[in-house]
Homo-oligomer: A and B are copies of this chain.
Amino acid sequence: MSLRNAVMATLLDGEASGYDLAKAFDASVANFWMCTPQQLYRELDRMESDGLVVARTVEQERRPNKRLFSLTDRGLEALAEFTAGPHKPTAIRDELLVAVMAADDNAEAVTASIQERKRWAEAKIARYDRLRVKLLGGRTEDEYLTTAERVGPYLTLLRGLSFERDNVRWCARCLTVLERRGARLDAPA
């Protein structure tokens, strides 16, 4: 029931197609609300029939037509109601952490997975940094935060950034620990 709110918050940036939303989610919303494109398309249909968004079809040449969605007043209202209300605690699902919990029986494989995650987090940091620079648009952060119309998307981006940086640090720590234990097991003093 709450994917809609993430969609509406994204539509505050202006009208977008399902496809646009999928890209936007992939680029930054995924940090706090993961979903597949299929979910978006389905949810957008429902939201339209609930009157939260309206679609306008844009015919395109040499490309499939697209439907651009934008928020209605009802949508804005629903979003405001959501932001006012209480929020469920963070729900995380991370298979790597499950694997780490069981790592002691399979240290090598898990080590490889941690290394991969570390690289992946580093790549994500680079992408977020680029997005950040783009959002700031030449202003300093301080200028931006006091003068920009909206700071919400910037604040969520900061959360994603620090989450991934934290990930990198934690991965490094795990690697050190597992490596040392590996050495100890190979040559137990």
Contact = CB atoms under 8 A, between A and B. Distances in A.
Interface of A: 2, 5-6, 8-10, 12, 29, 31-34, 76, 79-80, 82-84, 86-106, 109-110, 113, 117, 120, 145-146, 149-153, 155-156, 158-159, 162-163, 166, 169-170, 173-174, 177-178, 180-181, 184
A33 B90 contact: no
A6 B92 contact: no
Q: Which 3 A-B pairs have the closest CB atoms?
A: A32-B97, A87-B95, A84-B109
B2 A92 contact: no
B106 A33 contact: no
A101 B9 contact: yes
A104 B151 contact: yes
Contacts of A84: 106, 109
A96 to B, nearest CB: 5
Given A2-B95, A33-B94, A181-B145, A102 B169 contact: no
